[in-house]
Every structure is written in C-alpha cells, then in structure tokens.
Amino acid sequence: MEASSEVVPARYLRMPHVEPGMAVGLFGGSFNPPHAGHALVAETAIRRLRLDQLWWMVTPGNPLKENGGLAPLSRRIALSEAHAEDPRIKVTAFEAGFHVRYTADTLALIQARNPGVNFVWLMGADSLRDFHRWERWRKIACRVPIAVFDRPGATLSFLSSTMTKTFARARLDESDAPVLARTKPPAWTFIHGPRSSLSSTALRRGDGNPASRE
C-alpha cells in the first residue's frame, strides 16, 4: 500500500469533468506498472465504443490481489500519464480521494455525481474469468454496460465465465459496440481486435511472459 505521507496532486483526486449526454469509458486497474497494452485497450475502446472520454482510473489497490508490491500511487499516475496520449483519456485516482475500493461503490458514486452521463465499464477478457468474485458483481452488471476486450490466452473466457452465462441474454453483437454506452444495462459485448501480450506482472518480473492485466 502507499505510504500515508505520499502526496498526490489534488487534480487527480477529483473526478474528471463531464457533461450530460457524453459517452464515457471507465478503465480501472492498479496499473502496476502501466504499459502499451493498456494504452491499446484505451485507444480501441475510444474508437470502437465512440467514447467522448475515457477515465483511466488508477486504483489505490485491488481487493482481490496482494498489494505488498504495489508502487506508490503518484508513481503509477505519472507512468499512466505517459501512456495517455489521446486528450480524451483522463488519468484519475479519485477513488483514493473519495476512499472507495470496490467497483460497485465506485460506480454508485460516479453515477450519483454525474447524472445524464452514459458510462460503460471496460475490462480485459482475462478479468472476466474472475468477475464473479468481485464484490456485488451482479449489481455492477446491472448498473452499467460492460465492454470486454480480447486478451492473449483469454479469448474463450466469455464462453465459460460465470458472468457471461448469467447474463447471456444481455449480450450485444460486436457490431453494436458503438451504441453500448447508451444501452440500458444489463448489456455487454466482446470486442475482438489488436492484442498485446504485455502484462504488468511480467514487467515487474523483468520478463516478457504474458499474464493477466492489472
């Protein structure tokens, strides 16, 4: 975990500004460290989902993972900024500012403060495998549409995951991705496209073996 004395610039602890009617992608992770694979997902999401903004949300820590090796939040923010070349990408760590950890709570907070904005949750296919372990995962799926992005070694995850079986009838064809953000949940789609084998785990180990995105 980050040291309590760490100073994070205040602008990152606030939610980015949005306007009613916008389509905004929510891309959360520990980004420990961020890499070109994350940027590829962000760029693909903006293009395929026709997003007005994408929030690159650097989390304080993942409740499902050991956070002992987590780099300082300010460091992960700075590295994320280096990968966020598109001006529509807004790097933020507002979860730390509002002291929330679980995605279900984050989404409730976001929607309460931004009425009329069309949010869509973004995740890699590798994360889909464990989605049913997330706190109140069914409520998450019923609160916002979800876009699942292909990842090496996880292409078939959507066929076997608990989430996709539970919400099979809510799946949209990939060709409908441009309207996903404005579709009433539950709604989700699987997006194929360019894939990167880079992973934060492999980068921390100092090797190039693909692993789950963080």
- Peptide bond connecting 186 to the previous residue in cis, omega within 30 degrees of 0: yes
The pLDDT value recorded for residue 41 is 94
The pLDDT value recorded for residue 193 is 75
Residue the block writes with tokens 């889909």: 128
Candidate from 7-11, 96-100, 151-155, 167-171 with smallest mean pLDDT: 151-155
CA separation for the pair 161, 170 (Å, rounded): 14
pLDDT at residue 105 above 70? Answer: yes
Centre a 10 Å sphere on the Cβ of residue 197 and count the other Cβ atoms it contains.
Answer: 13
- Check: CB of residue 106 under 8 Å from CB of residue 133: no
Cα three-residue angle 134-139-145, rounded to 5 degrees: 95
Q: Which CATH superfamily is domain 10-205 in?
A: HUPs (3.40.50.620)
SS3 call for 80: helix
- Check: CB of residue 22 under 8 Å from CB of residue 1: no
Average pLDDT over residues 86-102: 97
Give which of 127, 88, 138 is closest to 212, Cα–Cα.
127
Q: Would you give the distance in Å from CA 39 to the centre of its chain? A: 11
Average pLDDT over residues 31-57: 96
For a pLDDT cut of 70, what percent of the chain falls above it?
Answer: 82
Greater model confidence, 61 or 81:
81
The pLDDT value recorded for residue 61 is 80
The pLDDT mean for the chain works out to 87
The pLDDT value recorded for residue 203 is 40
Which residues are bridge partners to 115 per DSSP? none
pLDDT digits (tens, 9 = 90+) for 165-205: 999 999 999 999 999 999 999 999 999 976 545 454 544 44
pLDDT digits (tens, 9 = 90+) for 140-158: 999 999 999 998 766 666 6
**Which residues make Cβ contacts (< 8 Å) with residue 210, sequence separation at least 6?**
152, 153, 197, 198, 199, 202
Q: What's the predicted TM-score (pTM) here?
A: 0.87
pLDDT at residue 81 above 90? Answer: yes
Compute φ and ψ for 120, nearest 5 degrees: -135, 135
Average pLDDT over residues 133-138: 97
Average pLDDT over residues 80-105: 96
The pLDDT value recorded for residue 160 is 85
